Amino acid sequence: MMGNRTPRVTIWNEYRHERAKPEVAKVYPEGIHQALRSGLTPYGFDIRTATLDEPEHGLTENVLNDTDVLLWWGHGAHDEVDDRIVDRVRERVLQGMGLIVLHSAHYSKIFKKLMGTSCALKWREADEKERLWIVKPAHPIAAGLPEYFELEQEEMYGEFFDIPDPEELVMVSWFEGGEVFRSGCTYTRGQGKIFYFRPGHETYPTYYREPVVRIIANAIHWSAAERGAAPQFGNAKPLEAIRGQG
């Protein structure tokens, strides 16, 4: 899929909280999508952004066809995402586009559709320390990270998290209240690679933290990596033609 080309990244964000809530605007004055863009730009990606209130949510066929990896942050307006756009994104994932699902986007239409489960969980909104343990240190998404790092303020997500068993579990979170959570999970759907990454509540400056940005950058490279042979479907050659090739 990639060869030596720079990964083309689209960062999608509802961009509602930042415009409606002063406490969120104070942390992300230009939106979560722009904070992520600023943090990821030094990694050399070709980045564009898209938001919910743009025509077609900013995810036209041309945009998606020009995207190697899509980042998705959503929270309060999951139901407003047009089902046609969800189907369009799903088709691109199956064709090989990477998808990185951030924080409360666990409940987005696209993630639930790709997982086939409710993707429900426990949560508690509080100024609470989160410690993220790297449990698969050899994974490319964990490159350059210590064995754990801490976020002094985050929202708690707790098990049970109603997702399919991850193909790879890269990191696990512990919270001050004692809960644990599968916070870095990978999946494959069709030709597309998916990474769910837990941190990122809108009232905390999580997306300015270097380890968090590093994980997302690593996940972009991982999910944009070269694919194997494209599968072939449909009617196969007649047996006589195959025998004639021998």
Which of 104-118, 151-165, 179-193, 225-239 has the lowest average pLDDT? 225-239
d(CA 173, CA 181): 5
Cβ(36)–Cβ(202) below 8 Å: no
β-pair type (192-197, 98-102): parallel
pLDDT at residue 189, as a whole number: 97
- The DSSP H or E segment spanning 237 is none
Q: Is the pLDDT of residue 1 over 50?
A: no
> Model confidence over 74-112: pLDDT tens digits?
999 999 999 999 999 999 999 999 999 999 999 999 999
CB neighbour burial string for 42-52, b if at least 16 within 10 angstroms, e if fewer: ebebebbbbbb
Summarize pLDDT for 24-67 with one digit per residue, the tens: 999 999 999 999 999 999 999 999 999 999 999 999 999 999 99
Overall fold of domain 8-119+182-244: Rossmann fold (3.40.50)
Is the pLDDT at 246 greater than 70? The verdict is: no
Residue spans per domain, the chain: 8-119+182-244
Sequence length of the chain is: 246
Q: Kindly report the average pLDDT of the chain as a whole number.
A: 95
Confidence at residue 128, expressed as pLDDT on a 0 to 100 scale? 94
pLDDT surpasses 70 at 188:
yes
Whether residue 3 is predicted with pLDDT greater than 60 in this model: the reply is no
Q: What is the pTM of this model?
A: 0.94
Above 90 in pLDDT, residue 177?
yes
Contacts with 238 (C-beta within 8 Å, 6 or more apart), sequence order: none
Mean pLDDT in residue range 226-235: 83
SS3 helix, strand, coil % of the chain, rounded to 5? 35, 30, 35
Under 8 Å between Cβ of 64 and 98: no
Q: What is the pLDDT of residue 71?
A: 98
